[in-house]
Amino acid sequence: MTLLIKNVHAIDPSSNLDDVVDIYAENGVIKKVGKVDTQADRIIDGESKLVAFPGLFDMHVHLRDPGFTHKEDIITGTNAAKAGGFTAVACMPNTKPVVDNKEVVDYILKKAESTGINVYPIGCVTKGMKSLELTDFAELKAAGCVAISDDGRPVENAELMRQAIEKSGDYGFTVLSHCEDLNIINGGIINKGNVSEKLHVKGMDRASEDYITAREIALAMSCDSKVHICHVSTKGSVNIIKAAKKDGVKVTCETAPHYFSYTDEKLLSRDADYRMSPPLRTDEDRLAIENAVIDGTIDCIITDHAPHTADEKAVFETAPNGVVGLETSLAMTLTKLYHTGKISLSKIAELMSVNPRKILGIEPVKISEGSKCDLTLFDTDYEWEVIPDKLHSKSKNTVFKHEKCKGKVIYTICNGNIVFEL
Protein backbone atom coordinates (compact mmCIF):
# COMPACT_ATOMS: atom_id res chain seq x y z
CA MET A 1 0.00 0.00 0.00
CA THR A 2 1.17 3.53 -0.76
CA LEU A 3 0.18 6.61 1.24
CA LEU A 4 0.71 10.26 0.38
CA ILE A 5 0.14 13.05 2.89
CA LYS A 6 0.33 16.44 1.19
CA ASN A 7 0.82 19.89 2.67
CA VAL A 8 1.16 18.83 6.28
CA HIS A 9 3.05 20.75 8.96
CA ALA A 10 5.48 18.04 10.04
CA ILE A 11 7.17 18.47 13.42
CA ASP A 12 9.82 16.02 14.58
CA PRO A 13 12.47 17.25 17.04
CA SER A 14 14.49 14.08 16.46
CA SER A 15 14.90 14.98 12.79
CA ASN A 16 15.07 18.76 13.29
CA LEU A 17 11.95 18.96 11.13
CA ASP A 18 9.45 21.80 11.42
CA ASP A 19 8.06 22.58 8.00
CA VAL A 20 5.12 22.11 5.65
CA VAL A 21 5.98 19.06 3.54
CA ASP A 22 4.60 16.05 1.68
CA ILE A 23 5.16 12.61 3.19
CA TYR A 24 5.14 9.54 0.97
CA ALA A 25 5.15 5.99 2.33
CA GLU A 26 5.22 2.53 0.79
CA ASN A 27 4.43 -0.67 2.69
CA GLY A 28 4.65 1.06 6.05
CA VAL A 29 7.96 2.84 5.46
CA ILE A 30 8.47 6.55 4.74
CA LYS A 31 10.16 6.87 1.36
CA LYS A 32 10.25 10.63 0.90
CA VAL A 33 9.74 13.79 2.95
CA GLY A 34 9.61 17.03 0.96
CA LYS A 35 7.88 17.79 -2.31
CA VAL A 36 6.29 14.66 -3.75
CA ASP A 37 4.79 14.50 -7.24
CA THR A 38 3.34 11.01 -7.48
CA GLN A 39 0.11 9.14 -7.01
CA ALA A 40 -0.74 6.83 -4.12
CA ASP A 41 -3.40 4.36 -3.04
CA ARG A 42 -4.53 6.89 -0.43
CA ILE A 43 -3.95 10.62 -0.45
CA ILE A 44 -4.55 12.90 2.53
CA ASP A 45 -4.37 16.65 1.94
CA GLY A 46 -3.36 18.47 5.10
CA GLU A 47 -4.18 21.80 3.47
CA SER A 48 -1.27 23.29 5.46
CA LYS A 49 -3.43 23.19 8.62
CA LEU A 50 -2.91 19.63 9.81
CA VAL A 51 0.10 18.95 12.03
CA ALA A 52 1.99 15.64 11.87
CA PHE A 53 3.93 14.26 14.85
CA PRO A 54 5.81 10.98 15.04
CA GLY A 55 3.16 8.60 16.41
CA LEU A 56 2.30 9.35 20.02
CA PHE A 57 3.35 6.81 22.65
CA ASP A 58 1.72 6.51 26.09
CA MET A 59 4.09 4.61 28.37
CA HIS A 60 1.59 4.31 31.24
CA VAL A 61 -1.85 2.81 30.61
CA HIS A 62 -4.05 0.22 32.28
CA LEU A 63 -5.82 -1.96 29.74
CA ARG A 64 -7.36 -4.12 32.53
CA ASP A 65 -6.88 -7.26 30.49
CA PRO A 66 -6.72 -10.03 31.66
CA GLY A 67 -9.06 -10.14 34.62
CA PHE A 68 -10.97 -6.86 34.65
CA THR A 69 -12.48 -6.78 31.19
CA HIS A 70 -15.76 -5.37 32.50
CA LYS A 71 -13.79 -2.10 32.84
CA GLU A 72 -11.69 -2.28 29.66
CA ASP A 73 -9.98 -4.80 27.44
CA ILE A 74 -7.09 -4.72 25.01
CA ILE A 75 -9.39 -4.09 22.03
CA THR A 76 -11.44 -1.26 23.54
CA GLY A 77 -8.41 0.27 25.22
CA THR A 78 -6.43 0.41 21.99
CA ASN A 79 -9.48 1.80 20.17
CA ALA A 80 -9.37 4.66 22.66
CA ALA A 81 -5.62 4.98 22.10
CA LYS A 82 -6.04 5.21 18.33
CA ALA A 83 -8.72 7.90 18.72
CA GLY A 84 -6.29 9.82 20.91
CA GLY A 85 -3.49 9.65 18.32
CA PHE A 86 -1.40 6.92 19.93
CA THR A 87 0.39 4.42 17.72
CA ALA A 88 1.85 2.65 20.76
CA VAL A 89 1.05 2.11 24.42
CA ALA A 90 2.80 0.34 27.29
CA CYS A 91 0.38 -1.45 29.61
CA MET A 92 0.84 -1.80 33.35
CA PRO A 93 0.93 -5.24 35.01
CA ASN A 94 -1.69 -4.96 37.78
CA THR A 95 -4.10 -7.25 35.97
CA LYS A 96 -5.55 -10.57 37.17
CA PRO A 97 -3.39 -12.57 37.01
CA VAL A 98 -0.62 -9.99 37.26
CA VAL A 99 2.06 -9.84 34.56
CA ASP A 100 4.78 -11.75 36.38
CA ASN A 101 5.30 -14.66 33.98
CA LYS A 102 5.59 -15.52 30.30
CA GLU A 103 2.06 -16.91 29.97
CA VAL A 104 0.40 -13.60 30.79
CA VAL A 105 2.76 -11.67 28.51
CA ASP A 106 1.98 -14.10 25.68
CA TYR A 107 -1.74 -13.54 26.23
CA ILE A 108 -1.40 -9.75 26.00
CA LEU A 109 0.78 -9.83 22.89
CA LYS A 110 -1.46 -12.33 21.12
CA LYS A 111 -4.62 -10.35 21.78
CA ALA A 112 -2.90 -7.13 20.74
CA GLU A 113 -1.96 -8.47 17.29
CA SER A 114 -5.27 -7.42 15.75
CA THR A 115 -5.38 -3.90 17.21
CA GLY A 116 -3.35 -2.19 14.49
CA ILE A 117 -1.03 -0.46 16.96
CA ASN A 118 1.90 -1.54 19.11
CA VAL A 119 1.20 -2.77 22.64
CA TYR A 120 4.21 -3.18 24.93
CA PRO A 121 3.70 -5.15 28.16
CA ILE A 122 5.29 -3.99 31.39
CA GLY A 123 6.15 -6.80 33.81
CA CYS A 124 5.97 -6.86 37.59
CA VAL A 125 8.95 -6.02 39.79
CA THR A 126 7.87 -8.56 42.43
CA LYS A 127 6.03 -11.85 42.17
CA GLY A 128 2.32 -11.34 42.61
CA MET A 129 3.08 -7.65 43.28
CA LYS A 130 3.54 -8.67 46.91
CA SER A 131 6.91 -6.98 47.56
CA LEU A 132 8.41 -10.25 48.80
CA GLU A 133 10.45 -11.68 45.91
CA LEU A 134 11.71 -10.34 42.58
CA THR A 135 10.24 -11.73 39.39
CA ASP A 136 12.36 -13.55 36.82
CA PHE A 137 13.60 -10.56 34.81
CA ALA A 138 15.16 -12.78 32.15
CA GLU A 139 11.86 -14.56 31.56
CA LEU A 140 9.93 -11.30 31.31
CA LYS A 141 12.47 -9.79 28.93
CA ALA A 142 12.48 -12.84 26.66
CA ALA A 143 8.67 -12.85 26.64
CA GLY A 144 8.53 -9.26 25.39
CA CYS A 145 8.28 -6.92 28.40
CA VAL A 146 9.90 -3.50 27.96
CA ALA A 147 10.03 -2.35 31.59
CA ILE A 148 9.09 -3.44 35.11
CA SER A 149 6.76 -1.90 37.67
CA ASP A 150 4.45 -2.78 40.52
CA ASP A 151 2.31 0.20 39.51
CA GLY A 152 -0.84 0.64 41.53
CA ARG A 153 1.27 0.28 44.67
CA PRO A 154 4.90 0.84 45.64
CA VAL A 155 7.43 -1.89 46.23
CA GLU A 156 7.22 -1.69 50.01
CA ASN A 157 10.54 -3.43 50.74
CA ALA A 158 13.22 -0.80 50.05
CA GLU A 159 16.07 -3.31 49.79
CA LEU A 160 14.10 -5.35 47.28
CA MET A 161 13.50 -2.19 45.26
CA ARG A 162 17.21 -1.36 45.42
CA GLN A 163 18.03 -4.81 44.07
CA ALA A 164 15.48 -4.38 41.28
CA ILE A 165 16.90 -1.00 40.25
CA GLU A 166 20.45 -2.35 40.32
CA LYS A 167 19.58 -5.52 38.40
CA SER A 168 17.21 -3.97 35.86
CA GLY A 169 19.92 -2.50 33.65
CA ASP A 170 21.28 -5.98 32.91
CA TYR A 171 18.04 -6.68 31.05
CA GLY A 172 17.56 -3.28 29.42
CA PHE A 173 14.71 -2.48 31.80
CA THR A 174 13.81 0.76 33.49
CA VAL A 175 12.01 0.42 36.82
CA LEU A 176 8.83 2.52 36.87
CA SER A 177 7.88 3.47 40.42
CA HIS A 178 4.45 4.27 41.83
CA CYS A 179 5.52 6.66 44.59
CA GLU A 180 2.96 6.50 47.38
CA ASP A 181 3.72 5.22 50.85
CA LEU A 182 0.66 3.20 51.83
CA ASN A 183 1.23 3.64 55.56
CA ILE A 184 1.21 7.42 55.20
CA ILE A 185 -1.89 7.31 52.99
CA ASN A 186 -3.57 5.06 55.57
CA GLY A 187 -6.99 5.02 53.95
CA GLY A 188 -6.97 8.57 52.58
CA ILE A 189 -9.00 9.09 49.42
CA ILE A 190 -8.19 12.66 48.25
CA ASN A 191 -5.44 15.21 48.85
CA LYS A 192 -5.06 16.11 52.51
CA GLY A 193 -5.89 19.79 52.94
CA ASN A 194 -8.70 22.31 52.99
CA VAL A 195 -10.92 20.35 50.61
CA SER A 196 -10.64 17.07 52.52
CA GLU A 197 -11.48 18.96 55.71
CA LYS A 198 -14.52 20.61 54.11
CA LEU A 199 -15.75 17.23 52.87
CA HIS A 200 -14.94 15.49 56.18
CA VAL A 201 -13.05 12.70 54.41
CA LYS A 202 -9.62 11.31 55.14
CA GLY A 203 -6.87 12.89 53.06
CA MET A 204 -3.65 11.59 51.49
CA ASP A 205 -0.69 13.52 52.86
CA ARG A 206 1.68 14.70 50.14
CA ALA A 207 4.51 13.19 52.16
CA SER A 208 3.37 9.79 50.88
CA GLU A 209 4.54 10.74 47.38
CA ASP A 210 7.51 12.89 48.32
CA TYR A 211 8.96 10.25 50.63
CA ILE A 212 8.93 7.39 48.12
CA THR A 213 10.18 9.71 45.36
CA ALA A 214 13.16 10.59 47.55
CA ARG A 215 13.65 6.92 48.47
CA GLU A 216 13.75 5.77 44.84
CA ILE A 217 16.21 8.49 43.92
CA ALA A 218 18.47 7.54 46.83
CA LEU A 219 18.31 3.89 45.77
CA ALA A 220 19.09 4.70 42.13
CA MET A 221 21.95 6.94 43.20
CA SER A 222 23.41 4.22 45.42
CA CYS A 223 23.81 1.80 42.50
CA ASP A 224 24.20 4.37 39.69
CA SER A 225 21.17 2.95 37.88
CA LYS A 226 18.04 4.31 36.22
CA VAL A 227 14.66 4.84 37.84
CA HIS A 228 11.49 6.44 36.49
CA ILE A 229 9.01 8.22 38.76
CA CYS A 230 5.39 7.74 37.71
CA HIS A 231 2.57 10.35 37.68
CA VAL A 232 4.26 13.19 39.59
CA SER A 233 1.68 15.38 41.35
CA THR A 234 3.40 17.42 44.11
CA LYS A 235 5.65 20.45 44.28
CA GLY A 236 7.84 18.49 46.68
CA SER A 237 8.43 15.64 44.25
CA VAL A 238 9.21 18.10 41.46
CA ASN A 239 11.85 19.80 43.62
CA ILE A 240 13.38 16.47 44.70
CA ILE A 241 13.60 15.26 41.08
CA LYS A 242 14.98 18.58 39.84
CA ALA A 243 17.75 18.51 42.45
CA ALA A 244 18.55 14.86 41.67
CA LYS A 245 18.85 15.55 37.96
CA LYS A 246 21.18 18.46 38.70
CA ASP A 247 23.33 16.04 40.71
CA GLY A 248 23.49 13.60 37.81
CA VAL A 249 21.13 10.94 39.17
CA LYS A 250 19.65 8.80 36.37
CA VAL A 251 16.04 9.70 37.11
CA THR A 252 13.24 10.47 34.68
CA CYS A 253 9.61 11.23 35.41
CA GLU A 254 6.16 11.76 33.98
CA THR A 255 2.90 13.52 34.74
CA ALA A 256 -0.65 13.43 33.40
CA PRO A 257 -2.74 16.29 31.99
CA HIS A 258 -5.11 16.38 34.98
CA TYR A 259 -2.24 17.38 37.27
CA PHE A 260 -1.46 20.56 35.33
CA SER A 261 -5.12 21.25 34.55
CA TYR A 262 -7.10 20.89 37.78
CA THR A 263 -6.87 21.12 41.57
CA ASP A 264 -8.61 19.32 44.42
CA GLU A 265 -11.33 21.99 44.27
CA LYS A 266 -12.92 19.66 41.70
CA LEU A 267 -13.61 17.21 44.54
CA LEU A 268 -16.04 19.62 46.21
CA SER A 269 -18.64 18.19 43.82
CA ARG A 270 -18.23 14.79 45.56
CA ASP A 271 -17.88 13.25 42.09
CA ALA A 272 -15.60 10.19 42.18
CA ASP A 273 -14.64 10.71 38.55
CA TYR A 274 -12.24 13.34 39.93
CA ARG A 275 -10.57 10.81 42.20
CA MET A 276 -7.30 9.23 41.11
CA SER A 277 -4.07 8.10 42.74
CA PRO A 278 -2.07 10.21 43.37
CA PRO A 279 -4.86 12.74 43.80
CA LEU A 280 -5.48 16.21 42.44
CA ARG A 281 -3.55 18.60 44.68
CA THR A 282 -3.51 22.34 45.38
CA ASP A 283 -2.97 25.15 42.90
CA GLU A 284 0.61 25.48 44.18
CA ASP A 285 1.21 21.87 43.15
CA ARG A 286 -0.62 22.33 39.85
CA LEU A 287 1.58 25.30 39.00
CA ALA A 288 4.73 23.40 40.01
CA ILE A 289 3.76 20.54 37.66
CA GLU A 290 3.07 22.98 34.84
CA ASN A 291 6.42 24.72 35.33
CA ALA A 292 8.23 21.37 35.50
CA VAL A 293 6.76 20.41 32.13
CA ILE A 294 7.87 23.75 30.71
CA ASP A 295 11.43 23.65 32.10
CA GLY A 296 12.08 19.99 31.22
CA THR A 297 12.14 18.52 34.73
CA ILE A 298 9.19 16.36 33.69
CA ASP A 299 10.23 14.19 30.75
CA CYS A 300 6.93 12.98 29.37
CA ILE A 301 3.17 13.30 29.50
CA ILE A 302 1.21 10.10 30.05
CA THR A 303 -2.43 9.37 30.85
CA ASP A 304 -2.35 6.69 33.57
CA HIS A 305 -5.51 5.58 31.71
CA ALA A 306 -7.41 3.72 34.45
CA PRO A 307 -10.94 2.65 33.49
CA HIS A 308 -13.65 1.93 36.07
CA THR A 309 -17.36 1.32 35.52
CA ALA A 310 -20.09 3.81 36.41
CA ASP A 311 -21.32 1.50 39.17
CA GLU A 312 -17.84 1.35 40.69
CA LYS A 313 -17.56 5.14 40.61
CA ALA A 314 -21.07 5.78 41.95
CA VAL A 315 -20.25 6.28 45.65
CA PHE A 316 -17.70 9.01 46.34
CA GLU A 317 -16.23 7.57 49.53
CA THR A 318 -15.79 3.98 48.35
CA ALA A 319 -15.08 4.35 44.61
CA PRO A 320 -11.75 3.08 43.24
CA ASN A 321 -9.19 5.65 42.15
CA GLY A 322 -8.51 6.23 38.47
CA VAL A 323 -9.61 8.10 35.34
CA VAL A 324 -9.52 7.39 31.62
CA GLY A 325 -7.39 9.69 29.50
CA LEU A 326 -6.22 8.30 26.17
CA GLU A 327 -8.71 10.28 24.08
CA THR A 328 -8.16 13.61 25.83
CA SER A 329 -4.41 13.70 26.53
CA LEU A 330 -3.18 15.50 23.40
CA ALA A 331 -6.23 17.75 23.29
CA MET A 332 -5.82 18.92 26.88
CA THR A 333 -2.08 19.43 26.50
CA LEU A 334 -2.75 21.60 23.45
CA THR A 335 -5.56 23.45 25.22
CA LYS A 336 -3.81 24.08 28.53
CA LEU A 337 -0.19 24.49 27.45
CA TYR A 338 0.12 25.20 23.71
CA HIS A 339 -2.80 27.55 23.12
CA THR A 340 -1.81 29.48 26.25
CA GLY A 341 1.67 30.03 24.80
CA LYS A 342 3.47 28.03 27.49
CA ILE A 343 5.10 25.34 25.32
CA SER A 344 5.65 24.76 21.62
CA LEU A 345 4.36 21.99 19.41
CA SER A 346 7.91 20.66 19.16
CA LYS A 347 8.03 20.40 22.95
CA ILE A 348 4.78 18.43 22.96
CA ALA A 349 6.24 16.03 20.38
CA GLU A 350 9.20 15.46 22.72
CA LEU A 351 6.93 14.86 25.71
CA MET A 352 4.44 12.56 24.00
CA SER A 353 6.38 10.80 21.25
CA VAL A 354 10.15 11.04 21.53
CA ASN A 355 10.92 10.85 25.25
CA PRO A 356 8.66 7.92 26.23
CA ARG A 357 10.34 5.69 23.65
CA LYS A 358 13.76 6.91 24.75
CA ILE A 359 13.05 6.16 28.42
CA LEU A 360 11.93 2.61 27.65
CA GLY A 361 14.69 1.96 25.12
CA ILE A 362 12.25 1.44 22.28
CA GLU A 363 13.29 2.18 18.70
CA PRO A 364 12.50 5.82 17.89
CA VAL A 365 9.85 6.77 15.36
CA LYS A 366 10.87 9.63 13.08
CA ILE A 367 9.43 11.60 10.20
CA SER A 368 12.34 10.79 7.95
CA GLU A 369 13.12 8.63 4.96
CA GLY A 370 13.55 4.98 5.91
CA SER A 371 11.62 5.32 9.16
CA LYS A 372 8.49 3.36 9.99
CA CYS A 373 5.42 5.37 9.00
CA ASP A 374 3.84 5.99 12.41
CA LEU A 375 2.17 9.39 12.43
CA THR A 376 -0.34 11.38 14.44
CA LEU A 377 -2.16 14.01 12.37
CA PHE A 378 -4.20 16.62 14.23
CA ASP A 379 -5.84 20.00 13.83
CA THR A 380 -4.64 22.42 16.51
CA ASP A 381 -7.70 24.66 16.09
CA TYR A 382 -10.46 22.02 16.08
CA GLU A 383 -12.84 22.91 18.93
CA TRP A 384 -14.83 20.16 20.63
CA GLU A 385 -16.41 19.11 23.91
CA VAL A 386 -15.52 15.94 25.80
CA ILE A 387 -18.73 13.89 25.90
CA PRO A 388 -18.15 10.75 28.01
CA ASP A 389 -20.66 8.59 26.11
CA LYS A 390 -18.81 9.28 22.85
CA LEU A 391 -15.49 7.94 24.12
CA HIS A 392 -14.21 4.68 22.64
CA SER A 393 -13.15 3.35 26.03
CA LYS A 394 -15.44 0.80 27.66
CA SER A 395 -15.49 2.98 30.79
CA LYS A 396 -16.38 6.68 30.76
CA ASN A 397 -14.75 7.96 33.96
CA THR A 398 -13.03 10.98 32.45
CA VAL A 399 -11.89 13.86 34.60
CA PHE A 400 -12.34 16.12 31.56
CA LYS A 401 -16.04 15.49 30.99
CA HIS A 402 -17.73 18.44 29.28
CA GLU A 403 -14.42 20.30 29.04
CA LYS A 404 -14.13 22.50 25.95
CA CYS A 405 -10.95 21.53 24.07
CA LYS A 406 -8.99 23.09 21.24
CA GLY A 407 -7.09 20.50 19.22
CA LYS A 408 -8.26 17.17 17.82
CA VAL A 409 -6.71 14.06 16.29
CA ILE A 410 -7.89 13.64 12.70
CA TYR A 411 -5.82 10.61 11.60
CA THR A 412 -3.73 8.02 13.40
CA ILE A 413 -1.37 6.09 11.12
CA CYS A 414 0.57 3.02 12.26
CA ASN A 415 2.89 1.05 9.98
CA GLY A 416 1.52 3.05 7.06
CA ASN A 417 -2.09 2.03 7.81
CA ILE A 418 -4.77 4.53 8.78
CA VAL A 419 -6.02 3.00 12.04
CA PHE A 420 -8.18 5.97 13.04
CA GLU A 421 -9.91 8.63 10.97
CA LEU A 422 -12.25 11.24 12.41
How much of the chain, in percent, has pLDDT values that exceed 70? 100
Mean pLDDT, rounded, for 206-231 = 98
Query: Quick check: is 379 catalytic?
Result: no
Query: Tens digit of pLDDT for each residue in 358-368?
Result: 999 999 999 99
The span from the CA of 296 to the CA of 239, in Å, is: 12
Do residues 301 and 359 touch, judged by C-beta distance below 8 A?
Answer: no
Q: Which of 304, 374, 379, 389 is flagged as catalytic?
A: 304
Mean pLDDT, rounded, for 67-92 = 98
For residue 100, what are the contacts with CB-CB under 8 A and spacing of at least 6? 93, 123, 124, 126, 127, 128, 129, 135, 140
All structural domains of the chain = 2-51+370-421 (2.30.40.10), 55-360 (3.20.20.140)
Residue 276 in this model has a pLDDT that exceeds 90: yes
Kindly report the pTM of this predicted structure: 0.97
Alpha helices in 190-251 (DSSP H): 194-199, 207-223, 235-246
| Angle subtended by helix axes 235-246 and 283-295, to nearest 10 | 30
Q: Which residues on adjacent β-strands are paired with residue 421?
A: 411
Mean pLDDT, rounded, for 185-207 = 97
Do residues 300 and 230 touch, judged by C-beta distance below 8 A?
Answer: no
Mean pLDDT, rounded, for 152-179 = 96
The residue that leads in pLDDT, 152 or 279, is 279
Residue 101 in this model has a pLDDT that exceeds 90: yes
Torsions phi, psi for 184 (to 5 deg)? -70, -40
Instruction: Count Cα neighbours of 310 within 13 Å in the Cβ-side half-sphere.
Output: 5
Report the chain's mean pLDDT, rounded to a whole number: 97
Residue 48 in this model has a pLDDT that exceeds 90: no
